[in-house]
Amino acid sequence: MTLLSVRDLRVTFGTADGDVHAVKGVSFDVSPGETVAIVGESGSGKSVTANSLLRLNFGADVRTSGQVLLEGRDILAMSDEEVRHVRGREVAMIFQDPLTALNPFYSVGRQIGEAYAVHHPEASKKELREIALDSLHKVGIPEPGKRIDQHPHEFSGGMRQRIVIAIALVNSPKILIADEPTTALDVTVQAQILELIAAMQAEHGSAVILITHDLGVVAEITERVMVMYAGRVVESAAVADAFVTPTHPYTRGLLKSVKSLDSVRHERLESIPGIPPSLINLPSGCPFHPRCAHADSLAGRCSTEVPELRRVGPGSSACHLPDERLLNLLGGAHER
Closest to other proteins by CB, 55 vs 213, is 213
The two most distant CA atoms of the chain are separated, in Å, by 70
**Stretch near other proteins under the rule CB under 8 A, chosen from 92-100, 125-133, 264-272, 314-322:** 264-272
Among 30, 53, 176, 255, binds other proteins (CB under 8 A): 255
Residue pair 235/317 in contact (Cβ under 8 Å)? The answer is yes
Q: How far is CA 5 from CA 68, 72, 224, in A?
A: 6, 8, 15
Q: Is 313 in the site for other proteins (CB under 8 A)?
A: no
- 3-state SS string for 151-191: CHHHCCHHHHHHHHHHHHHCCCCCEEEEECCCCCCCHHHHH
- Quote the CA–CA distance of 58 and 37 in Å, as a whole number: 23
* Shortest Å, Cβ 141 to other proteins: 11
**Stretch near other proteins under the rule CB under 8 A, chosen from 1-9, 65-73, 273-281, 320-328:** 273-281
Q: How far is CA 15 from CA 137, 275, 279, in A?
A: 45, 22, 11
Q: Which of residues 77-136 bind other proteins (CB under 8 A)?
A: none
Residue pair 305/299 in contact (Cβ under 8 Å)? The answer is no
**Stretch near other proteins under the rule CB under 8 A, chosen from 17-25, 100-108, 130-138, 257-265:** 257-265
* Shortest Å, Cβ 240 to other proteins: 5
**φ, ψ dihedrals at 103, nearest 5°:** -85, 120
Q: Which of residues 5-44 bind other proteins (CB under 8 A)?
A: 41-42
**Stretch near other proteins under the rule CB under 8 A, chosen from 17-25, 97-105, 270-278, 294-302:** 270-278
Nearby residues of 143 by Cβ (< 8 Å), 6 or more positions away: none
Residue pair 91/70 in contact (Cβ under 8 Å)? The answer is yes
**φ, ψ dihedrals at 104, nearest 5°:** -70, -15
Q: Is 213 in the site for other proteins (CB under 8 A)?
A: yes
**Stretch near other proteins under the rule CB under 8 A, chosen from 23-31, 46-54, 69-77, 252-260:** 252-260
* Shortest Å, Cβ 260 to other proteins: 6
Q: Is 186 in the site for other proteins (CB under 8 A)?
A: yes
**φ, ψ dihedrals at 256, nearest 5°:** -70, -25
* Shortest Å, Cβ 226 to other proteins: 15
* Shortest Å, Cβ 178 to other proteins: 14
Q: Is 257 in the site for other proteins (CB under 8 A)?
A: yes
Q: Is 282 in the site for other proteins (CB under 8 A)?
A: no
Collapsed DSSP state (helix, strand, coil) of residue 251: helix
Closest to other proteins by CB, 188 vs 281, is 188
* Shortest Å, Cβ 328 to other proteins: 18
- Quote the CA–CA distance of 248 and 258 in Å, as a whole number: 16
Under the rule (CB under 8 A), what is the footprint of other proteins? Answer: 41-42, 142, 156-159, 186-192, 194-195, 213-220, 239-240, 243-244, 253-263, 265-273, 275-276, 336
